[in-house]
């Protein structure tokens, strides 16, 4: 995979709306995210031409969204591209993408949720991209960005050193919803639940593989398209999965993993990472998802050997760490440690 150039203070980065026009719906929330991103990381944020258009216009114009992405990649003054938020129809931009533009103008691309679609376009182009915070969610965190997220961004996007060990957050997590349409809510810090760490479900020894994954529901939409990776790309890979704020039930996770098993993917994997479920404040509820994973992987696919770590700090939860696509990582089941084994940027 081609690694992008690392970000530095003073760099210009593009804010982009690839799906939902949330910035027009909640301009104060977007302004806060932009302000905190610039103040915390020292970057200059500029909007792509259609980033601030209203949701209806953006929904009707997937080519304009794709043109924004192509323009941001091709512009030499732009050093990185950050999703404003996710949504549900980035998949409609795929016919209008030129993968050669991505491959010949490598730069940091960051986002999660529906942005999984664009990450797999980057994957097809051979470019490392980054599953992590969006402007209107984590960058706009009430009371300032969480230190765990800032540390991960600096280690992964701003340094050409090996990223190294990633550990569980110890300060607490949240999925609490505070209505963005109420300006007074911006002054309220979200309630943190006690940190409970990650759960090591199964596996022995130490396994290495390239990171690939995203939001489970969005990955499901990609199956059968030209943007879903071929079987060879899954050999030894460490698959990371998480589910959205729509909170699909555990049986949907089982069904998705069954499909991957039927495609011959589960038998090829070197590991599975699963993010903390959204808005589940009682860790006992998470066990239902763990059981759903084990049912499909261990009991049905016969992969009792596959390392599986759940309740991890990525995806639709805060805080979260950044996962770089195509970069080598390791899961050490004996010591219960997770490492990203190389730099993710040049």
Q: Where are the domains of the chain?
A: 12-161, 183-340
Confidence at residue 163, expressed as pLDDT on a 0 to 100 scale = 98
- Could you tell me where the DSSP H helices lie in 90-139? 99-104, 116-125
- pLDDT-based confidence at residue 221 (cuts at 50, 70, 90): very high
pLDDT digits (tens, 9 = 90+) for 7-53: 999 999 999 999 999 999 999 999 999 999 999 999 999 999 999 99
The predicted structure's pLDDT at residue 239? 99
Per residue in 125-160, pLDDT (tens digit) is 999 999 999 999 999 999 999 999 999 999 999 999
Longest Cα separation, the chain: 52
pLDDT at 300: 98
> Mind listing the pLDDT tens digit for each residue in 86-121?
999 999 999 999 999 999 999 999 999 999 999 999
Q: Is residue 262 pLDDT above 80, yes or no?
A: yes
Question: What's residue 183's pLDDT?
Answer: 85
Predicted confidence at residue 285, as pLDDT, reads 78
- What's residue 268's pLDDT? 98
State the CATH class of domain 12-161: alpha beta
- pLDDT given at position 112: 98
* Amino acid 281: pLDDT: 64
Q: Say whether 206 sits in a helix, a strand or coil.
A: strand
Structure tokens at 187: 């002054």
Pairing of strands 323-324, 130-131: antiparallel
Q: What is the pLDDT of residues 231-261, one digit of tens each?
A: 999 999 999 999 999 999 999 999 999 999 9
Q: State residue 280's pLDDT score.
A: 63
Judged on CB neighbours under 10 Å (0-12, 13-18, 19+), 342 is middle
Residue 286's pLDDT is 86
For 184-214, the pLDDT digits (tens) are 898 899 999 999 899 999 999 999 999 999 9
Predicted confidence at residue 70, as pLDDT, reads 98
Residue bearing the bigger pLDDT, 282 or 189: 189
Please give the residue that has the higher pLDDT: either 123 or 279: 123
Q: What percentage of the chain exceeds 70 in pLDDT?
A: 99
Question: By the 8 A CB rule, do 139 and 335 touch?
Answer: no
Going across the sheet that includes 44-47, the strands are 44-47, 12-16, 80-83, 108-111, 130-131, 323-324
Q: What pLDDT, in 10s, does the model give residues 330-342?
A: 999 999 999 999 9
Fold of 183-340: Glucose Oxidase; domain 1 (3.50.30)
* 12-161 and 183-340 share one fold: no
| Cis amide leading into 319 (omega within 30) | yes
The reported pLDDT for the residue numbered 284 is: 73
Mean pLDDT of the chain: 96
- Decide if 323 contacts 308 (C-beta within 8 A): no
- Tell me which DSSP letter residue 127 carries: B
Distances (CA, A) of 127 to 36, 214, 261: 27, 16, 26
Contact assessment for residue 4 and residue 127, using Cβ atoms and an 8 Å cutoff? yes
On whether the CB atoms of residues 307 and 236 are closer than 8 A, the answer is no
Paired with 209 in beta bridges are 329
């Amino acid at each position: 995979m081609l690694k992008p150039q690392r970000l530095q203070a003073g760099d210009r980065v593009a804010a982009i709306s690839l799906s939902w026009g949330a910035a027009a719906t909640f301009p104060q929330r977007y302004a806060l995210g932009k302000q905190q991103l610039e103040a915390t990381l020292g970057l200059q944020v500029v909007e792509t031409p259609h980033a601030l258009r209203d949701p209806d216009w953006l929904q009707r114009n997937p080519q304009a969204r794709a043109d924004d992405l192509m323009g941001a990649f091709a512009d030499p003054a732009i050093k990185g591209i950050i999703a404003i938020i996710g949504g549900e129809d980035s998949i409609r931009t795929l016919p209008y993408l030129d993968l050669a533009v991505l491959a010949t103008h490598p730069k940091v691309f960051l986002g999660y949720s529906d942005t999984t679609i664009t990450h797999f376009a980057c994957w097809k182009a051979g470019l490392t991209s980054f599953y992590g915070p969006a402007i209107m969610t984590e960058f706009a965190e009430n009371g300032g960005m969480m230190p765990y997220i800032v540390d991960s961004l600096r280690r992964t996007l701003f340094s050409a050193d090996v990223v190294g060990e990633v550990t569980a957050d110890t300060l607490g997590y949240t999925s609490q919803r505070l209505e963005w349409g109420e300006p007074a809510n911006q002054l309220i810090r979200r309630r943190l639940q006690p940190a409970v760490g990650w759960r090591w479900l199964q596996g022995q020894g130490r396994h290495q593989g390239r990171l690939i994954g995203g939001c489970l529901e969005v990955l499901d939409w990609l199956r059968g398209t030209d943007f879903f990776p071929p079987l060879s790309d899954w050999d030894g890979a460490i698959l990371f999965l998480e589910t959205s704020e729509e909170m699909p039930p555990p049986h949907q996770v089982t069904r998705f993993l069954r499909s991957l098993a039927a495609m011959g993917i589960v038998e090829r994997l070197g590991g599975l990472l699963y993010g903390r479920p959204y808005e589940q404040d009682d860790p006992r509820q998470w066990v239902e998802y763990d059981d759903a994973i084990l049912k499909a992987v261990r009991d049905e696919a016969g992969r009792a050997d596959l390392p599986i770590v759940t309740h991890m700090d990525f995806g639709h939860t805060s805080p979260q760490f950044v996962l770089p696509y195509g970069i080598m990582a390791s899961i050490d089941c004996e010591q219960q440690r997770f490492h990203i084994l190389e730099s993710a940027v040049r």
